[in-house]
Structures are given as structure tokens and as C-alpha cells.
């Protein structure tokens, strides 16, 4: 028998960081999200610098009632050497939204997708 969602709650938060060059960070976070949703937890993924509506994870989230993806980005790539003003504003909005989301306690798992890259690019 699987534990109930309330048995999963920790007395304090837990942070996992997926970082590195190349692919795999978002995929690893999606694996965490899928397992959490499978155990009845409520998950939100806040995507920094991503605004493509057609990406697979965004479309798949529509089939999972306890998994939400909120995007803060344009349907274009960010120039790391000269970020556009709108990219900076979107990243700052994402960070503000993330803070509000975490403080609300509404979600069991909050994923900040590409937040390290946004910091590295100087967007936040």
C-alpha cells in the first residue's frame, strides 16, 4: 500500500538542484514531478525563459490535474550576451511568482525550471 500524500509531507522543505551543460535537467525535474503526482501530490513547474506552448511537457500537463506548468518567456531563445529587456522582465516576474507560490503553501512540489540559467544570464 502506498503512503497517503499527508504522510509524504516533510516538517521542512527539501531542495534538489539539477544543473550542468546540455540536456537532462528539465527531464529529471519532470521525472520528479510525475512521481509526486502519482503519489497524489500537487506540483507546479515554473519555467524561466520558456514560452513555447507546443512543447511536450506543457501539453502533457493538461492531462494531469495535479500538475501545472506556468511559463515566463517568449517563443524565442534568450541571447546570453545581450538579453532583451522583455526577457529580464519575464524572468523577474517568474521569480516573484515563484516566491508567492512557495509562500502560499498551495503546492507540495515547486519546480523552478531553468532558474540557474536565468541567474547565469543576469536576468535575475
- 72 forms beta bridges with 48
Q: How far apart are CA 22 and CA 28, in angstroms?
A: 12
Q: How far apart are CA 120 and CA 53, in angstroms?
A: 24
The pLDDT of residue 14? 80
Q: Is residue 16 part of a domain?
A: no
- Please answer whether residues 90 and 59 qualify as being in contact, where contact means their C-beta atoms are separated by less than 8 angstroms: no
Q: Is residue 20 part of a domain?
A: no
| 3 state SS for 61-122 | HCCCCCEEEEEECCCCCCCCCCCCHHHHHHHHHHHHHHHHHHHHCCCCEEEEECHHHHHHCC
Q: Per residue in 72-96, pLDDT tens? A: 999 999 999 999 999 999 999 999 9
Q: Is residue 78 part of a domain?
A: yes
The pLDDT of residue 1? 46
Nearest Cα neighbor of 78 from 54, 46, 113, 48 is 48
Backbone angles phi, psi at 28, to 5 degrees: -65, -45
pLDDT in 10s for each residue of the chain, 124 residues: 455 555 656 666 788 899 888 889 999 999 999 999 999 999 999 999 999 988 899 999 999 999 999 999 999 999 999 999 999 999 999 999 999 999 999 999 999 999 999 999 999 9
Domain that holds residue 94: 42-124
The pLDDT of residue 58? 92
Q: How many domains does the chain have?
A: 1
The pLDDT of residue 7? 60
Q: Is residue 4 part of a domain?
A: no
Amino acid at each position: 500500500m502506498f503512503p497517503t500524500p499527508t504522510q509524504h509531507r516533510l516538517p521542512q522543505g527539501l531542495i534538489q538542484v539539477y544543473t550542468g551543460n546540455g540536456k537532462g535537467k528539465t527531464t529529471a525535474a519532470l521525472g520528479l514531478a510525475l512521481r509526486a503526482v502519482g503519489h497524489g501530490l500537487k506540483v507546479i513547474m515554473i519555467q524561466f525563459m520558456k514560452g513555447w506552448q507546443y512543447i511536450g511537457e506543457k501539453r502533457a500537463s493538461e492531462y494531469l490535474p495535479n500538475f501545472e506548468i506556468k511559463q515566463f518567456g517568449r517563443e524565442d531563445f534568450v541571447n546570453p550576451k545581450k538579453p532583451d529587456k522583455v526577457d529580464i522582465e519575464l524572468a523577474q516576474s517568474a521569480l516573484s511568482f515563484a516566491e508567492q507560490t512557495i509562500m502560499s503553501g498551495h503546492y507540495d512540489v515547486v519546480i523552478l525550471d531553468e532558474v540557474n540559467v536565468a541567474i547565469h544570464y543576469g536576468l535575475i
